[in-house]
Structure 1
Amino acid sequence: MSFLKLKAIKIDQPLASFYITKIKAKDLLEISFSEELQYIDESGKLKGNQRKKDEKRLKSIGRYIDSIEMSFPNSIIIAANYDKNRGQIIDNKDRRWKLTKSNDDFYEIDIPTNEKLASIIDGQHRLNAFDYVTNQERKELDLVCTIFFDLSSSYQAFLFATINGNQKKVDKSLALEQFGFNIDDEPSKSWTPEKFAVYYCRKLNFKESPFKGKIKLAPKFTNDLFDINSDDFIISTATIVDGILMLISSRPKRDRVEMGQHSIFKGRGRYLIKDFRDSSPLRNLYLNNEDEKIYEIIKSFFGSVEINLWNNIQGNSYIIKTVGIQALFEFLKKILQLNTNYSNIDFDDYLNPVSGVNFADNYFQASGVGKSRIKRVLFVANDFMSIDDVKENEQSDIVRLLS
């Protein structure tokens, strides 16, 4: 005897077909699960596809569900036939959810057991908030549910990123990591700028580099993977990915959409975006698949940063905060724009003039203004801009810091 039978309609779209049905909240809670995105080993391998559950938010949504105006017209999206511990369920017919076509686009979904064999792709807080309701009758309410069958973990992550990538409530680092979830399954020539940047962000974090162990995956960061002491600093995935992106693409979303017109294994390649005008300094290296050259340039630059700036940190320095890393990437971009022979750049020549600057000075601050001020100090010290081009009320501070 089956645990549950549902009626559904089939929707065909390019990524995959899916099925829309209604299901009671209590039943969906019993047969589904959500898994937080996290690192699981020292190579940067990921598992899960969700941000961390927010209990305060769950209680707030639970309170809303108890209200007389409660309504959830948007769909909970799940991936069926997926075991949290073993991945996709392929051969076990007694556990697999089954589809039977009735007529036209109408189907019957047979759920044989109440095991949690459906991974939540989107809507975990809406669903799990039913565990926080006062009125238990609310769990009898029907919810709209979209079901994908046999969707791999990488595509579950991709869907989450696609759905939530532009939402302010979803941490940008999480969305970016999701875009790069299945990157090892793809040929590198098919990597969009975002996937390229995520891959090399992870490499900077897990291989020997100035950033090793310092890049934080927003939803869950397993500190015991790294040898971190209290004096080290941590920077977000989004900050590093954005920094790498500015070196290879001025419009990464445009590049992703254009490359997405071809499937991964049937012609997708960087050649598809070669005709777009783009002044990013390392664009040609990216288009020509010279990925390791880009990585070595970034690693070499920040190696020099480590020697000249990070090893001389004074107090609560802004040069190791988000604004400092952002300014340093913009500084690197300017250096690369002025040098066409990247292999002959001595980054020490550009960083020595600012090695004595106290980036903990009150002139700096942790904001967009602070980033601009760090950038101006770097640029003035290297004659990329004149002190006369700086706001008059800031000129004396820059002169003081560089003296």
Structure 2
Amino acid sequence: MSEQALKFTAIRLTQPIGELFVGKISSDKLASLAKADIRRITSRELEKMSGIQRGLSSARVTDIARYIETVDASFPNAFILNLNSEFLNDAPREIGNDCEDGTGIYCFDVSANEKAFSIIDGQHRLSGFQKAEVETFDLIVAFFIDLPIEDQAYLFSTINVTQQKVNKSLVYDLFDVSETRSPQRTAHLITKALNTDEDSPLYRRIKLLGIAPKFGDEVLYKAPLSQGAVASRIAELISADPMSDRDSIRRGKEIAVDAADVERGLIFRKFFAEEKDWAILRIMKNYFRAVADAFPDLWEKQDNPLSKTIGYGALMRLLVDAFGEGARRGDLSFDFFSELMTRVRRNSAMDQDAPLTFESFAAAGSGESKLYGKLKEWSELA
């Protein structure tokens, strides 16, 4: 083996596409051995395309790097690679074949060259390791040897096109089993309380897990809001960086609170830092009870924009403005919010451009922003 080489072992597997190997390589070594084949134009005249990978997203790389730097970061899924046999110093040598299914363990001796491996899937993760300030990470790699470019492209497209985005409601609901305090867990628990507390104005108006609740085939109740939509808006008012806050808590650090948090829209941050989640829940109940009392007929119509996601989003944006006014007064009671919503009702009734039914606001796209703009105008908080 040459001085500039990497020696490692891997298990051989056979699948319909052919033979592949699974092993481990440290993050620093893999970064020096692998390069993404970015798809690009290689002929100006014919606009001939080369490569299979999409261009790197710097924002995504930064997010991954920040995750890698957290105290409990993990990448249990494999980087999928193609090994160019030109950079094998010797043929893979079998060093073990003790399993009943005949699977053997092979030793690889690969020259340290960035062209040794091409990345089929995992370029953003690997770039994240290059950007992150962490010690070496052991990574799982699954690699083929001299896999034709056609098959590499097919694998890449299949992996990335057929992946289904995880339901945001499920993501938040999984924080129910977490023991670590975090903005996401607090947002989930408050959302759950808003939906299950009988004195809540949002009682049974939230689809937990994002689907209509059923007992067998029976739909228990219809709800206009999803758990993910409600919880994410609450989390946004707690933290601009929930992952970092969770990591700080895991490391035993205090949550940083700044005097400008309210101006930045983080109106619930101080309560979260002081572990006063009950205060966040109380404010949410006071606020939405005032909405329900000001517009009782529309609030009962779950197909009305005020009751749907567009209305919830616009109302949560108005809450940020209202909180600032209430905090200056030292009053975040139901009476304060009721006074606010009384103004909204009175002024909206006199607005010919946006009748009281709220039906003129689109349920998607710019509808939320337009509704928020009107609510702020009618509230006289502008």
TM-score by length of 2: 0.50
Offset, 1:217: 4.1
Offset, 1:19: 7.9
Give, in whole Å, the separation in 1 of the partners of 2:319 and 2:345: 16
Instruction: Answer yes or no: is the 8 Å Cα contact 2:305–2:359 preserved in 1.
Output: no
Give, in whole Å, the separation in 2 of the partners of 1:5 and 1:195: 41
**Counterpart in the other structure of 2:233:** 243
**Counterpart in the other structure of 1:333:** 320
Offset, 1:246: 3.6
State yes or no: 1:9 paired with 2:23. yes
**Counterpart in the other structure of 1:283:** 269
Offset, 1:238: 2.7
Offset, 1:336: 0.5
Instruction: Answer yes or no: is the 8 Å Cα contact 2:344–2:378 preserved in 1.
Output: yes
**Secondary structure of 2:361's aligned partner:** coil
Structure 1 pair 345/214, CA: closer, same or farther in 2 (3 Å)? closer
Structure 1 pair 10/300, CA: closer, same or farther in 2 (3 Å)? same
State yes or no: 1:375 paired with 2:362. no
**Counterpart in the other structure of 2:193:** 203
**Counterpart in the other structure of 1:153:** none
**Structure 2 residue aligned with 1:186, among 161, 173, 179?**
179
**Counterpart in the other structure of 1:214:** 205
**Counterpart in the other structure of 1:223:** 214
Give, in whole Å, the separation in 1 of the partners of 2:299 and 2:319: 20
Give, in whole Å, the separation in 1 of the partners of 2:276 and 2:195: 20
Give, in whole Å, the separation in 2 of the partners of 1:258 and 1:18: 23
Give, in whole Å, the separation in 2 of the partners of 1:314 and 1:17: 46
Offset, 1:194: 2.4
Give, in whole Å, the separation in 2 of the partners of 1:345 and 1:326: 20
Unaligned segments of structure 1, at least 5 residues: 22-71, 75-99, 105-142, 146-163, 386-403
State yes or no: 1:350 paired with 2:364. no
Give, in whole Å, the separation in 2 of the partners of 1:17 and 1:228: 39
**Structure 1 residue aligned with 2:307, among 320, 326, 329?**
320
Offset, 1:101: 9.6
Instruction: Answer yes or no: is the 8 Å Cα contact 2:206–2:224 preserved in 1.
Output: yes
Instruction: Answer yes or no: is the 8 Å Cα contact 2:326–2:332 preserved in 1.
Output: no
Offset, 1:257: 2.7
Give, in whole Å, the separation in 2 of the partners of 1:309 and 1:168: 42
Structure 1 pair 103/179, CA: closer, same or farther in 2 (3 Å)? farther
**Structure 2 residue aligned with 1:303, among 284, 289, 308?**
289
Offset, 1:317: 2.1
Offset, 1:322: 1.3
Which whole-Å deviations, capped at 9, do the CAs of 1:259-315 have from their partners, x for residues lacking one?
Answer: 42x573x51x5x243369533222211211111011111012112222222444597
Offset, 1:335: 0.8
**Counterpart in the other structure of 2:278:** 292
Structure 1 pair 205/181, CA: closer, same or farther in 2 (3 Å)? same
Give, in whole Å, the separation in 2 of the partners of 1:16 and 1:369: 38
**Counterpart in the other structure of 2:150:** none
Give, in whole Å, the separation in 1 of the partners of 2:297 and 2:74: 51
Give, in whole Å, the separation in 2 of the partners of 1:350 and 1:219: 31
Structure 1 pair 359/367, CA: closer, same or farther in 2 (3 Å)? farther
**Secondary structure of 1:9's aligned partner:** strand
**Counterpart in the other structure of 1:273:** 256
**Counterpart in the other structure of 1:364:** 361
Unaligned segments of structure 2, at least 5 residues: 1-10, 14-20, 28-71, 83-103, 109-140, 144-159, 350-354
Structure 1 or 2, whichever has the larger Rg, is 2
Give, in whole Å, the separation in 2 of the partners of 1:332 and 1:364: 19
Give, in whole Å, the separation in 2 of the partners of 1:342 and 1:101: 69
Instruction: Answer yes or no: is the 8 Å Cα contact 1:326–1:371 preserved in 2.
Output: yes
Instruction: Answer yes or no: is the 8 Å Cα contact 1:331–1:378 preserved in 2.
Output: yes
Q: CA RMSD in A?
A: 4.4
Offset, 1:247: 2.6
**Secondary structure of 1:318's aligned partner:** coil
Give, in whole Å, the separation in 2 of the partners of 1:359 and 1:307: 14
Give, in whole Å, the separation in 1 of the partners of 2:26 and 2:260: 35
TM-score by length of 1: 0.48
State yes or no: 1:170 paired with 2:184. no
Offset, 1:318: 1.2
**Counterpart in the other structure of 1:157:** none
Give, in whole Å, the separation in 1 of the partners of 2:344 and 2:220: 27
Percent of aligned pairs with the same amino acid: 20
Instruction: Answer yes or no: is the 8 Å Cα contact 2:238–2:268 preserved in 1.
Output: yes
Paired letter, 2:174: F
Q: Give the number of aligned pairs.
A: 239
